[in-house]
Amino acid sequence: MYFEKITEIIRDQLGLEDAKIERETSLMKDLEVDSLDAVEVIMKIEDEFDIEIPDEDINAFKNLGDIADYVKNKKEG
Amino acid sequence: MKRRVVITGLGCVTPVGVGWKSYWDALLSGKNGIGFISQFDASEFPVRIAGEVDNSTFVDLIEKKDSRRMSRFTQFAIISSKMAINDSKLDLEKIDAEKFGVIVGSGVGGMDTLEEQHRILLERGPKRVSPNFIPMMISNIAAGQISMMLNAKGPNFTTVTACASSTNALGEAFRTVVRGDADIVVTGGCEAAITPLSIAGFASMKALSTRNDDPEHASRPFDKDRDGFVMGEGGAMLIFEELEHALARGANIYAEMVGFGAASDAYHITAPHPEGKGARKAMELAIKDAGITPEDVNYINAHGTSTYYNDMLETLAINDLFQDHAKKLSVSSTKSMTGHLLGAAGAAEAIASILAVRDNKVPPTMNCFQPDEKCNLDYVPLKYKEVTVNYALSNSLGFGGHNATIAFGKYKN
C-alpha cells in the first residue's frame, strides 16, 4: 500500500500518467526526474505520510521500493 | 549594407482572442475583453474587474507535463511562441541554432507562484517551500523555457521595464538581428499579474479603474470620464528574421521593423514627465532610427492606458513632436479592449501595429465617447478605420520613467 500511494504521488506530481513505475524504478535514472522534482516528490511523501525524511536517508534510496520500505519502517516501526 | 529585419511569424494569447487572427478580428470589431475577476475572490477588493484570458481558450494548447513547472506567465509565453514559430513555417532542423535568439519581456514574472509559496512559507514553514519556486517565479524563465523548447542557442535574455518591458524586448531583438548576433529572434512579452497582491498593490496606487459596475466601459483611453487602467494578462510573440534569411526560404513577410527609440524621464517613480519629454524623445529616436520623417507616420498605437496623466501627457508628447501632422495621425489604444497587459502589452500592440501596416486598417479606441479637452487627436473612436498605413509607431511607457517606441513599415523590396 505504501508503494501504491507513492506511485500515485509521483504520477500526479510529475504528470506521468502512463509511465511504467515499479519497485525497481529509479526516480532520477529511469523517470529522468531532476533534483528539483526529486525534492518535491520527497516533500509530498513526507506530507502524505506525516513523516520527516532527513537528507542523509534520501541519498541512500536506490529505487522506489527503497522509499516504500523506508516509509513502512517509519510508520510501523 | 545595414541588415534589415522583417516579421515572419505572430502568436498571441490575449483576453480578446487566442492566435493572431482571432486577436486581430477582435480588435477590428471592438470586442470587449474586460469582465469580473475570476482567478481569485476579489469581492472585498476595491478593484474587481480585469481582462482575463479564459482558461478554456489555452489550457489544451500546452501539455500538463510541460505546464506543471511553469507559472502562468510562462505558459502564455510558451503557447504564443509555439504559435509564432508554426506561423513562420521555420524548419527548426535547418536553422543555425546559435544564430537563433530569444528576447522576451515580463514586468513581474511569476507573481502567482510567489504568492502561493509565500502562503506556504507562512502557514507551514520554510521546509515546505517548493524547490521549483525560484525557477518558476523568475521573470527570465519564460525566455529560458522558450529556448529549451526550440533549441535556440543564440542571445537569450529578458527585459524588465514594467509596462514597457516587451517594447524594449522587441527593440533589443531588432538591434540583435541588425548587429548580426542572430538571424532569427523569438521576441515578445508575457504577463499574468491578476493576483490578489498585484491587484491590491496597483489599486492602492489609485492606478486602476474602479468602474466595477460596468467592466465593459472601464478601460476608456483619452475619454473625459476615464478613471484608471484595467489590468489585463496574456502573451504575444513575434518572429524577427533577417531579410535575406527570410527571402531565401520564401517566408511570408508581415512587415518590416524599421526603428527603435528608448529614453528615460529621470523624473518620478510612477508619474510621467509633466511635459511628456521622455515619450517624445523615444518617438523622435525611433523615427530617426527608421530614416523617415514624422510626416511619414500614419498610425500610432498609443500606450493609452486610460489613466488621467498617461493619456494627457502622451497626447502632449505627440503634439509636441508631430506639430501640424499630429492632427493627421490616427492614434488608438487597443487597451480599451484588452486591458493593460503590462509586460506583454508592447508585444501585443506591436502585433496590432504590424497588421495595421499590412492591412491598412487601424483598430479603434473603444469607450472613447467624449475625449478629454486636453486630448485633441484622432483616436479612432469606437470603430476601426481604413486608411493607408505606410509607417506605424507603437509606444510603451513604464513605471520608472521608461519610454520605448518601435516603428514598423510595409515591406518593400
Using one digit for the tens of pLDDT, what is the confidence trace for B347-375?
Answer: 999 999 999 999 999 999 999 999 999 99
pLDDT at B123 over 90: yes
Whether the complex's predicted ipTM surpasses the cut of 0.95: no
Label the pairing between strands B184-191 and B100-105.
Answer: parallel
Between chain A and chain B, the number of residue pairs with CB atoms below 8 A apart is 23
Percent of chain B whose predicted confidence (pLDDT) is above 90? 98
The mean pLDDT of B197-209, rounded to a whole number, is 97
**Tens digit of pLDDT for each residue in A26-54?**
999 999 899 999 999 999 999 999 999 99
Q: What fold characterizes domain B5-248?
A: Peroxisomal Thiolase; Chain A, domain 1 (3.40.47)
User: Which chain B residue has the Cα nearest residue A38?
Assistant: B131
- Band of residue B413 on the pLDDT scale cut at 50, 70, 90: confident
Give pLDDT, residue B64.
82
pLDDT of A18:
86
The residues in B 33-72 lying below 8 A from A, measured between CB atoms, are: 63-65, 68-69
Confidence category of residue B145, pLDDT binned at 50, 70, 90: very high
Give the residue with greater pLDDT, B65 vs B44: B44
Mean pLDDT for chain B overall: 97
C-alpha cell at B226: 476615464
Who among B64, B127, B131 is closest to A40 (CB)? B131
pLDDT at residue B65 is higher than 90: no
The pLDDT tens digits of the residues spanning B239-295 come to 999 999 999 999 999 999 999 999 999 999 999 999 999 999 999 999 999 999 999
Please tell me the predicted confidence (pLDDT) of residue B147: 98
- Probe site for chain B from A41, A43, A46, A47 (most B CB atoms < 10 A): A43
Fold category of B261-401 in CATH? Peroxisomal Thiolase; Chain A, domain 1 (3.40.47)
Interchain CB distance below 8 Å, A39 and B65: no
Q: Give ranges for CATH 3.40.47.10 in chain B.
A: 5-248, 261-401
